Structure 1
Amino acid sequence: MKQRLVFPRQKLDLICVSKPVRCSGQESCSNWRAISHSQVLLPCFLLFTFLLSPIAASAADITQQLHRPLNSSVGRQLRDEADSLLSIGEQQYASGYADKTIASCLRALELYHLIGDLKAQGLTYNLLAKAYVQLGSLKEVEDSLRRGLAIARDTQDFQAQIFVLNNIGTLLLQQGESAAAGKTVVDALTIAQGVKNIEGEGLSLSNLGLVAARLGDYNKAIKLDENALIFRRQTGDAIGEANTLNNLGDAYLASGNYQDTIGTYGAAMQIAKTNRDRTNELRAIDGLVKAHSAIGRYERAFDLLEQRLTLSKELQNLPEELKSFESYAQLYEQQGNYLTARNFYERAIILARTLEDSKQEGQLQDHLTKMLQRR
């Protein structure tokens, strides 16, 4: 089974701009000892919301969103076929079949173009972007997002503009273009403030916090994330709140404020657990493990890792199980227990091989070799 790029934590899912959105832009996921700032923050730049949970639409939902009466029976037939293809694409995406999703979307786009329905094309480009994210095709992700943004501007759909701009900003941040990402998200925030879109303000502020953290300005990141939390709580967006709390925890961790780090990640973990938001729950656990191990609370760190591994197995999520083994290996290595660390590195390598993730397998093997040479 081949591991697919998931944002993002990190799955890199994109916001569905067709309905009220609950997630966050590049909100995202989250080695040890006195960890470097880049090591603390890097995982955050791999998810579109991260955090961004996929929003599935039923066939009925899509029909309601897209249906417009047409005089031509041929037009109605084309619309019905296009609506059906988009609904099938949503189901294929939810089932993890990105290739099939893309095929359905491309055919739907042809039909929507024929009948001149711009809004439907925008919805389809949004789903296309999410599918390309699953495949790690970043060039196609950006193309789909920018086409969707052009349509949102043509139709003066301000909510769509806000969330597509945030997704583009997330993509730019993941590609290391922090300045361009910040400018793009500021544009989104300006629109959100202009139309008083509270949800968009919270999302944009949270993403600007990520940009500030990426640039190493952790005090600014903390202030932006704290402001973002005000808006997210106003809308009752629990998943968005958990994601922003995780972002805030990352900033506290990078600045060495372990007391606030632990409290913030703990709040994120509780909210995520209550809402069965497994992505943010796992991310919060990762942050807590790093914080507790950094100040020598190894027993608590191991308790958290046990929770992480149990959750990964319950979800039958092999990539997350692999990450749990790797975290165990790193913590035992940090304590000088090289024999047990080797055991966990080897278990992680076996899983990487099962997932056909040669890059991860190579990195794990390299870590193991270097550890054994230091013994």
Structure 2
Amino acid sequence: MYDGLGDRRQALAFYEQALTIRREVGDQAGEATTLNNIGHVYSGLGDPQQALAFYEQALTIMQEVGDRAGEATTLNNIGSVCARLGDRRQALAFYEQALTIAQEVGDRAGEATTLNNIGQVYAGLGDRRQALAFYEQALTIAQEVGDRAGEATTLNNIGHVYAGLGDRRQALALYEQALTIMQEVGDRASEAATLNNIGLVYEGLGDRRQALAFYEQALTIKQEVGDRAGEAATLNNIGSVCAGLGDRREALAFCEQALTIAQEVGDRAGEATTLNNIGQVYAGLGDRREALAFYEQALPITREVGDRAGEAVTRYNVAMVLRADGDLAAAIAELELVVELDRQVEHPDLADDTAMLEQIRRQMTQTHTET
């Protein structure tokens, strides 16, 4: 319950009490379940390495006691950590093991979940067509077994693919289908996430006022259900809209609220994202020194939590500040790191970042020639 309310520190305290008792009474299956739950909390706190350590302990026990369904769930969890750390190929390997087990034991709902996860890996690799193929398999199974919540989740994921392909109208239609189901089944947390996604579509379509309306609906629900991390993410999105509308001071106020919450709940990954966003607001205000200060606060956190994609985004922003300051050599050094990080996580923006690197190199060469 505390985990669901977003109070992860309190959740952790109860899970640790449960773990002690499970070990005392020799309940290995229960111990593995609790280790999994603790891993989930650390994942939510932005500590993927600690999450991985607990998931691996859980996996060992589940394999020892022959809990095949639990083993598949834990393999899925390990895969999610690998994906978060930017190692999508490794994530795919864990998900494929989980899929095989789910199919062997006839866990159709688990099979659909794993197909969804595999789809997310391919989406992250930029292979949206392959992602769509896995999502569609997952959707068919969710509908067959009557898993309405799973159906809604998959419709959301398919919506993400269409949004990424630039077909925002199709994405919107899928999100709206997902929203209807979530409202029917009373899944308030997922409803808020979907409202947030609809807001992102409208923002992408340039309709910032409509985007803001959906973000505000999402924010209200997240506050009602106590999803503090989700509240921070939506405050960030509202800040983005305000910045797009030219109200950067208002944007800064929302981002600062988001930062406070991320720090309160211990969401280190969210904290880094928000610091980066605040830096972008200051850059938009023309205060490059202040922007750089926030980017430099974000960078060590992205490295600490293993968010290589987030590190790449922040380093790119640093490079743009350095370029604007005329320090082309330093900008090139940052962009070289960005390109390397993009390669490591097989990021779809690798070509764009490489092109920017070459552009600044040419700019530097021209500057030397003119001198």
Tell me the TM-score normalised to structure 2 length. 0.71
RMSD: 3.6
Which amino acid is 2:321 matched to?
Answer: L
Higher helix share: 2
5 Å-filtered alignment, 1:174-323, equals 174-315=164-305, 319-323=309-313
Q: Secondary structure at the match of 1:167?
A: helix
Q: How many residues align?
A: 313
AA of the residue aligned to 1:217: D
| Cα deviation code 1:18-49 (max 9, x no counterpart) | x9798xxxxxxxxxxxxxxxxxxxxxxxxxxx
Specify the alignment match of 1:173 in structure 2: 163
Q: CA deviation at 1:225?
A: 0.4
1:163 alignment partner in structure 2: 153
Distance 1:264 1:170 in 2: 25
Residue 364 to residue 276, structure 1, CA distance change in 2 (3 Å)? farther
Gaps of 5+ in 1: 1-18, 23-50, 68-78
Residue 154 of structure 1, CA deviation: 1.6
Q: Distance in 2 between matches of 1:280 and 1:229?
A: 16
From 358, 367, 374, give the equivalent of 2:360.
367
CA contact (8 A) 2:88 2:121 kept: yes
Equivalent of 2:332, from 346, 355, 362? 346
Q: Is the 8 A contact 1:166 1:185 kept in 2?
A: yes
Contact 1:149 1:161 in 2 (8 A): yes
1:279-313 alpha-carbon deviations (Å, 9 max, x no partner): 33233223222222323334432321231234345
Distance 1:279 1:141, change over 3 A: farther
Match status 1:90 vs 2:80 = no
Change (3 A) 1:195 1:140: same
Structure 2 unmatched ranges of 5 or more: 7-43, 344-349
Q: Deviations over 1:194-239 (max 9, x none)?
A: 2222112211111111111111110111111011100111111122
- Which residue does 1:127 correspond to in 2? 117
Confirm or deny: 8 A CA contact 2:95 2:117 kept in the other structure: yes
Deviations 1:115-169 (A, max 9, x none): 5431221232133224334544322222222221222212222221222222221
User: Which region of structure 1 is more displaced relative to structure 2, 292-301 or 222-231?
Assistant: 292-301
- Structure 1 residue aligned with 2:319: 329
Q: SS where residue 206 of structure 2 aligns? A: coil
SS of alignment partner, residue 290 of structure 1: helix
The farther-off stretch of 166-175 and 136-145 is 136-145
The aligned counterpart of 2:40 is none
The answer on whether the counterparts of 1:246 and 1:280 sit within 8 Å (CA) in structure 2 is no
- Determine what percentage of the aligned residue pairs are the same residue: 24
Q: How does 1:21-170 map to 2 (within 5 A)?
A: 58=55, 80=67, 84=71, 87-96=74-83, 97-106=87-96, 108-110=98-100, 112-113=102-103, 115-170=105-160
The CA distance in 2 between the partners of 1:372 and 1:60, in whole Å, is 54
Contact 2:232 2:262 in 1 (8 A): yes
Structure 1 residue 278, shift from structure 2 partner: 3.5
CA distance in 1: counterparts of 2:251 and 2:359, whole angstroms: 30
Greater shift, 312-321 or 153-162, is seen at 312-321
What code does the residue aligned with 2:219 have? L
